[in-house]
């Protein structure tokens, strides 16, 4: 699996896919959807689909695919290689969503939460398979949020396809297990070979599991936070763990549009993203003040 595209631009997303087997264009297929890396504060989130003809589903089950979380890294790699060897009837595609994309989406002016991002990415991959000519008859999805709502949404989007959304679908349906393996192999590779554009000094590659409650991960975050520029792009800066460290370790900020007399010390970086009311009144930028410009409320 070549993630070279991610090295060129680690701020957005990239899509990878196998060739579509000819039999998957002709025969009705079953398709599974799953993700890897939803919870970590480090690295990308990867969504994957895996599909095969309904007539060959037993062959996929014979590979002994299972929920990727129950497998070792070497077992996942071995199973992915087997799926690649069976590319005459097994196909896959995935979206790699960078930490920067995730956090800027969540902290944008128009909030785009992780559930919505996950739903839209999964929907986009199913549509991608259809656009590539895959004859999708059934879709099985590991749920994000309430499965009934998610299933109804997907069923409305794809009325000609039988859609099933379940919790723990990666342990229930082999085709979802296969998608889970594709996603986890891709994420593991992306994390292991991450290209740090920041050229960090004394980079420590031992960052633990990447999950917010891991002491080793927290120690890595504290070590690699830059007082002015914050975290490298490897970090999901919208996660509470990252925000807390940023508040403690980064320099204070005096916002230019804040009145100096009312400012009680410098503001914290994350206060810019606060959902609540501002402590100080928000004045227009000096460009507008110097020119006597005001917002028009009537015409």
Residue 174 to residues 20, 131, 209, 248, Cα–Cα distance (Å):
19, 24, 26, 45
Q: Which residues contact 120 (CB under 8 A, 6 or more apart)?
A: none
Q: What is the 3-state secondary structure (H, E, C) of the chain?
A: CCCHHHHHCCCCEEEEECCCCHHHHHCCEEEEEEEECCCCCECCEEEEEEEEEHHHHHHHHHCCCCCHHHCCHHHHHHHHHHHHHCCCCCEEEEEEECHHHHHHHHHCCCCCCHHHHHHHHHHHHHHHHHHCCCCEEEEEEECCCCHHHHHHHHHHHCCCCEEEEECCHHHHCHHHHHHHHHHHHHHHHHHHCCCCCCCCCCCCCCCCCCCCCCHHHHHHHHHCCECCCECCCCECCCCHHHHHHHHHHCCCECCCCCCHHHCCCCECHHHHHCCCCCCCCCCCCHHHHHCCCCCCCCC
Residue 231 — φ and ψ, nearest 5°? -95, 155
Annotated binding site, which residues?
A: 34-35, 142
Annotated binding site for a divalent metal cation, which residues?
A: 34-35, 142
Residue 100 — φ and ψ, nearest 5°? -65, -45
Beta pairing, strands 136-142 & 29-36:
parallel
CB 230 within 8 A of CB 222: no
């Amino acid at each position: 699996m070549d993630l070279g595209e991610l090295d060129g631009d680690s701020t957005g997303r990239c899509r990878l896919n196998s060739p579509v087997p000819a039999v998957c264009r002709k025969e009705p297929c079953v398709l599974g959807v799953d993700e890897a890396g939803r919870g970590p504060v480090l690295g990308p989130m990867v969504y994957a689909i895996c599909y095969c003809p309904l007539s060959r589903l037993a062959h996929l089950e014979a590979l002994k695919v299972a929920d990727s979380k129950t497998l070792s890294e070497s077992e996942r790699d071995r199973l992915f290689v087997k799926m690649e060897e069976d590319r005459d009837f097994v196909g896959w595609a995935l979206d790699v969503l960078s930490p920067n994309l995730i956090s800027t989406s969540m902290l944008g002016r128009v909030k785009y939460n992780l559930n919505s991002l996950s739903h839209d990415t999964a929907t986009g991959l199913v549509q991608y398979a259809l656009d590539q000519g895959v004859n999708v008859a059934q879709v099985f999805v590991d749920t994000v949020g309430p499965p009934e709502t998610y299933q109804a949404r997907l069923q409305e989007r794809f009325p000609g396809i039988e859609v099933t959304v379940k919790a723990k679908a990666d342990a229930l349906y082999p085709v979802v297990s296969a998608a889970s393996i594709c996603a986890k192999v891709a994420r593991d590779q992306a994390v292991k070979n991450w290209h740090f554009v920041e050229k960090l000094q004394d980079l420590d590659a031992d960052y633990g599991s990447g999950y917010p409650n891991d002491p080793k991960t927290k120690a890595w975050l504290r070590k690699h936070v830059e007082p002015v520029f914050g975290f490298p792009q490897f970090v999901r800066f919208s996660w509470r763990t990252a925000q807390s460290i940023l508040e403690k370790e980064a320099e204070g900020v005096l916002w230019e549009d804040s009145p100096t007399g009312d400012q009680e010390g410098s503001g914290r970086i994350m206060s810019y993203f606060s959902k609540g009311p501002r402590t100080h009144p928000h004045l227009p930028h000096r460009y507008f003040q110097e020119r006597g410009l005001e917002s028009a409320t009537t015409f």
